[in-house]
Amino acid sequence: MTGLGPAVPRVRPRIGCAGASLALALLAFAGGALADKPVFVHPFDGAPIETPLEEGEAETPALKEFKETGVNPYRDQAEAVADGKRLYEQWCQVCHAADASGNMGPSLVDDKHVYAQTATDAGMFAIVYAGASGAMQGFSGRITQDDMLKLIAYVRSLGR
Amino acid sequence: MTMPTQRASSAQSIHLPGRLVAALALAGFGAAAVHAQQIPATPDEVARPGGTIPGAPKLALVKIADGFHDPVGVTAANDGSGRIFVVARAGRVRLVKDGKVQPEPFLDLTNFNPLGSDVQTGFVEQGLWSIALHPKFKENGHVYVHYASLPFNGASIVARFTVDPASPDQITKEQLLKSAKVLMNIPQPYYNHYGGRIAFGPDGMLYIGKGDGGWEGDPLNAGQNLNVLLAKILRIDVDTPDDVPYAVPKDNPFAKADRPQLMSLFGITEQGFAVNQIGSRPETWAYGLRNPYSFHFDAKTGDLFIADVGQNHWEEIDWQPASSKGGENYGWKFNQGSHCHPTTGPGEKCPIVGVLPVAEYPHQEPYPGAEKLTDGWGCSAQGLGVANYAGMNHTYLVGDWCSGRLFGVAWDGGASKWQMQELLQTNLQFTSGTVDADGSVLATNCVCFYTEDKGPTANPPGSLWRIMAADQVPAGAETARTRQQ
């Protein structure tokens, strides 16, 4: 093994938060308590990722709120979580396992993340949208961003 | 069934073909120094990620071309034209010429049959995998392909087509039908583990990577069964009259196994009986392989590397020197890498069958119940090519299909052991590679993972890349997103 772990958090706070510690920002994102416009970044290099809508794709109220605040409104919403479960079973389960503990792909629960930014909804959204490495290719253009939020809401429901 | 044997191979006999001796002398190398490599004798000598390859540079992947439908194979022209042939899984070969993808495919197996495509692509491991150019392609125009046949219920077809000199960049439908010569039709029991790559060796013979036929756990025991063509590297002579599909090279390890002979029971040693391999398929070059989707020769030495795709826990890289006389048993399904199959983890005990790999890397879970790794793992080894540039010497580059990692495998003469080093991690799903005419290693990627596959022309497109030293990347070139180790 190379021994290199996911050492560097890769979710960047907005520039206005530069004075605050990164750790604090991460905690805030993870808890969803801080209404802060998220900056989406790639887990490899922290480079910003633009997330334009596909042609004909609607910006739902939930997505609009998420992009303004970093808070996923679908968390704990039964109907959305059920939709997320359906999406997860279709797209994610084979690699990440039914309980999201990891199979061919890494764990998405219990803080055993390959990429630290997975801990926040904004960080996970960036990976689902733009991909990470190898088989984890971006899902932009394949599922809607609104569905990505539902998917994330379902994954979060597993990690409890 | 070949019985498990404890074969600890160490110092390999040095028997260099004359052409290699001459080449090495010209290169100023002493044969003894170059061929100091030894096949690991024990599992602890098998290289794993975490090693350091002397001289390994910081690398980058520069995009050559994109827009390919599920590119799963690539070959460089050997005629001085600089052309690159990219294999699209659906059954087409796209031509990259002067850096541009030509509008018409070089070869199209999807439309010559009036009943539809000739290529079975229902599962992601099916399709057209590989194209190889005859060593005398410039003179005879012969190209060879390996694909899963739709009319033959998924059987592996190895076929030859011939380029019309008047149309060097496209084999038309008419030319395809006129020139077609089928060499092999290997029935396929299941829809996975086909193998795929075919390539000519430095000896002019065609080598074919053939998987164990699928499902999991090799239910047919194909790996150790010398009577079937599955789970092997095959070696055939294609230079035969048109009405003879191929010939078995006389120096294949089991070339004479099937010859009629008188039975002798007395006065024969047990060793004498043991070499009797009646019924063995004479096309066999090496066996005990699970799914050798890719393999590559070192253009400098003639050595052969094989990337054998593993099952649940380990990927293995095998090596044989140019002096090999064939017949290596790489252990499947008794072993996976240097481990038992099925593996149970630390403390497991089983014989090492045949020849150990020179390198191996784990999946996220190296054995059932193991703590999941957060780094250094993968799921499917795709050999890309042997690098002899940018500080790399005889270094086999291996890309992983799942994790996007790029590993190097090389003999470390100073430390007298094999090394495996993760050179970088990419966002790419590696599928194949080759060595370009300039010596650099090319790679392809798809967006076609098992769970995401929507069909060979419906998946997001893949690309063709050149692996080069990071400090040599031309200004303005598009590079793959990478994470350096």
Rounded to a whole number, what is the distance in Å from the CA of B38 to chain A's nearest CA?
Answer: 23
Nearest by CB: A4 against B402, B452, B485: B485
- Crossing angle for the helix pair A121-130 and A145-158, to the nearest 10 degrees: 130
Q: In terms of Cα–Cα distance, which of B390, B367, B380 is closest to B439?
A: B390
Residues of B within 8 A of A5 (CB-CB) are 374-375
Helices H / strands E in chain A, number of each = 6, 0
Q: In terms of Cα–Cα distance, which of B410, B378, B396, B382 is closest to B441?
A: B396
- Of the CA atoms within 13 Å of residue B223, those in its CB half-sphere come to 26
> Taking a C-beta distance cutoff of 8 angstroms, is the pair A95, A135 a contact?
yes
Rounded to a whole number, what is the distance in Å from the CA of B168 to chain A's nearest CA?
Answer: 35
> Taking a C-beta distance cutoff of 8 angstroms, is the pair A14, A36 a contact?
yes
Residues of B within 8 A of A107 (CB-CB) are 372
> Taking a C-beta distance cutoff of 8 angstroms, is the pair B71, B129 a contact?
no
Tokens for B470? 């990071």
Read off the pLDDT of each residue in A147-160 and give the average, rounded to a whole number: 93
- pTM score of the predicted model: 0.87
Q: State whether B405 and A134 contact (CB < 8 Å).
A: yes
**Residue pointed to by tokens 């396929």:** B188
Distance (Å, whole) CA B171 – CA B370: 52
Q: State whether A135 and B401 contact (CB < 8 Å).
A: yes
For position B22, what pLDDT does the model report?
35
Residues of B within 8 A of A45 (CB-CB) are 481, 483
Residues of chain B where predicted confidence (pLDDT) is lower than 50: 1-35
Residue B409: strand pairing partners: B396, B420
For position A160, what pLDDT does the model report?
64
Question: Which of A133, A140, A143 best tests the B interface by mutation, with the highest count of B CBs <10 A?
Answer: A133
Q: State whether A142 and B460 contact (CB < 8 Å).
A: yes
Distance (Å, whole) CA B59 – CA B470: 5
Judged by average pLDDT, the poorest of A27-31, A146-150, B131-135, B249-253 is A27-31
Distance (Å, whole) CA B448 – CA B451: 8
User: In B141-269, which ranges are continuous DSSP H helix?
Assistant: 173-179
**Residue pointed to by tokens 């252990």:** B331
Residue B210: Cβ-neighbour burial (10 angstroms; 0-12, 13-18, 19+): buried
For position A113, what pLDDT does the model report?
83
Could you check whether the bond before residue B249 is cis, i.e. omega within 30 degrees of 0?
no
ipTM of predicted complex: 0.77
Q: State whether B429 and A137 contact (CB < 8 Å).
A: yes
For position B387, what pLDDT does the model report?
98
Rounded to a whole number, what is the distance in Å from the CA of A105 to chain B's nearest CA?
Answer: 7
Distance (Å, whole) CA B149 – CA A142: 30
State CA B131 to chain mean position distance.
12
The nearest alpha carbon in chain B to A137 belongs to B447
For position A103, what pLDDT does the model report?
83
> Taking a C-beta distance cutoff of 8 angstroms, is the pair B392, B57 a contact?
yes
Amino acid at the residue B430: F
Chains A and B: how many Cβ contacts under 8 Å? 97
Q: In terms of Cα–Cα distance, which of A92, A45, A143 is closest to B426?
A: A45
For chain A, the average pLDDT equals 81
Residues of A within 8 A of B50 (CB-CB) are 1-3
